[in-house]
Every structure is written in structure tokens, then in C-alpha cells.
Amino acid sequence: MAISSILFDLDGTLLDTADDLGAALNHVLAKYQFKPLTADEYKQHASNGSVALLKAGFGEHWDTLPQANLKTEFLDYYQNNIAVYTRYYPSIERLLQTLNEQGIPWGIVTNKPTYLTLPLLTHFALLKESVSVVCGDTLTVAKPSAEPILLACEQIGIIADKCLYLGDAQRDIEAGQNAGMKTAIASWGYIPKNLDLSTWNADLVFTDAQQLINHI
């Protein structure tokens, strides 16, 4: 399959943000005297947003707690410590450099809100070169809707069926499919162990970014 353009998910695909998200979660858990989650525990929920992480941390007590306050405390801490531990996944920098060198346009479509996405990208020089950044609140809908992906295609000036969308969550694959483009799974991301990825019906599965480089 010839790749003429690529759109990427952000968390769990380009960047490993789990440890900063986990630090925010454990900060809130400690404040309320709850046991912290280990990295293996919080990484299972890292792709699913603040509420999913908080629910994992507070467990059966979640419904009895001031949920809005907890979410605000989590997001405030994360915003103020957004790139302490976050890093590129292996070979991602080389992948983006390869795309730039070959003149293959690329963009980012994430469900992360704008006020967290744009400050995070400033910490990673290559990500600032993205031709399009569509966030979870750019439109009134987010992935798995096709609309954010189609907006990115429009901004970049590419045709959806000539583009590949790469992500680490089923909603990423569904969004790409809904947009009529080829899809690929970044299996290095926040995917639960022993999950049958064939059920997502993606066109491709990559175990690391180097495989994608070889595919270009």
C-alpha cells in the first residue's frame, strides 16, 4: 500500500504520556489518602481520558466522591506538569524526519483538548511541524467520528482514501474507517495485553515505528 499522507493519534501513538497522566492521578489519590496505582495499572486506562483514570484509581468509591472537583484537580496538576516524563516512542523521531524528507504530509488528530495538546506539542520540536492539529474540542464531535479526520485532510489538502490513520485505540481505527481511509494500529501504545486486535479490522498492525518507516 503506497502511503501519500499520514494522520496520527497523539497519546499512545507518537508520545508516551502515561507517566505524566499517572503522576497526576496518583497526586489526587494521595490527597484523598487512596493507594497509588502502579504504571502497569494506570497505563491500561491512559488512552481513555481523565475520568477513566480517576475511576480506575478510586474504584468503588468513585460514585460517592466529588467527581467534578477530582477531575479539576487531576487536570490542573497534569497541565502544570505536562511534559515531565512524557517522551517520544522509539523511532518516532526518525519516522517524522523520514516523512519530512520524503515530502509526505502528516498531521495529528487527537481527542485530547486543545488547552492540553498545544502546550504539550511545544515540548517536542518535530511535533510542532505537524501540518494540521485537530483536537478533541476543535469540533463538537471527536473520534470515533470521522469529522475530525476529514477536517485534518481538508487542512492538509489531502484526499482521505489516499491517507493512512495510525492509532492505538479502537476508536482511532473506527474513525479512520468512517473517514474512508486506510488504518493501522500502533500496537506499542496503551492496548491491554492479550487483546485480539484482529477484531478491529485495521488494514495494518505495526509493533514499532521502524516497521512503518520500512513500509513507506
Considering the candidates 9, 16, 20, 172, report the single residue annotated as catalytic: 9
d(CA 80, CA 134): 22
d(CA 71, CA 51): 7
d(CA 127, CA 96): 8
Considering the candidates 11, 16, 20, 168, report the single residue annotated as catalytic: 11
* Helical ranges in the chain per DSSP H: 18-31, 39-43, 49-58, 67-80, 92-101, 114-121, 147-156, 170-178, 209-215
**Is 11 annotated in the active site?**
yes
**Is 19 annotated in the active site?**
no
d(CA 42, CA 44): 5
C-alpha dihedral sign at 12, 14, 19, 22: negative
Q: Would you name the residues annotated as active-site residues?
A: 9, 11
